[in-house]
Amino acid sequence: MSDKKTALVISAHAADFVWRAGGAIALHQSLGYEVTVACLSYGERGESAKLWKQEGMTLERVKKARKEEAQNAANALGVTDIRFLDLGDYPLRLDRDAQDQMVDIIREVQPIWMMSHSKWDPYNTDHMNTTRFALECRMIAQAWGHNPGEKVLGAPQMYLFEPHQTEQMEWKPNVFLDITSVWDKKRAAIECMQGQEHLWNFYTNVAENRGNHFRRNSGGMAGGRKAEYAEGFEMIFPQTVDELA
DSSP state string for 161-203: EPPSSGGGTT----EEEE-GGGHHHHHHHHTT-GGGGGGHHHH
Average pLDDT over residues 148-157: 97
Give every strand in the sheet of 230-235, ordered side by side.
Answer: 81-84, 34-39, 6-11, 113-116, 157-161, 230-235, 175-178
Segment among 140-149, 202-211, 213-222, 227-236 with least mean pLDDT: 213-222
What's the confidence (pLDDT) of residue 195?
80
Predicted confidence at residue 23, as pLDDT, reads 98
Residue 82's φ and ψ, nearest 5 degrees, are: -120, 130
Inform me whether the pLDDT recorded for 17 exceeds 80: yes
pLDDT at 63 over 60: yes
How much is the average pLDDT of 29-51? 95
Instruction: Assess whether pLDDT exceeds 90 at residue 162.
Output: yes
Closest CA to 165 of 114, 214, 203: 203
Whether 97 shows a pLDDT value over 80: the answer reads yes
Query: Are 42 and 147 in contact, with CB atoms under 8 Å apart?
Result: no
Q: What is the pLDDT of residues 122-139, one digit of tens each?
A: 999 999 999 999 999 999
pLDDT confidence tier of residue 146, bands split at 50, 70 and 90: very high
- DSSP letter at 89 equals S
Q: What is the mean pLDDT of residues 153-167?
A: 96
The backbone torsions φ and ψ at residue 175, rounded to the nearest 5 degrees and listed phi first, read -140, 130
- Alpha-carbon gap, residue 45 to 43, rounded angstroms: 6
pLDDT band for position 1 (cuts 50, 70, 90)? very low
pLDDT at residue 120 in the model: 97
Per 3-state DSSP, the chain is made up of helix, strand and coil in percentages (nearest 5) of 45, 15, 40
> Is 36:111 a contact under the CB 8 Å cutoff?
yes
Task: Report residue 2's pLDDT band, with 50, 70 and 90 as the boundaries.
Answer: low
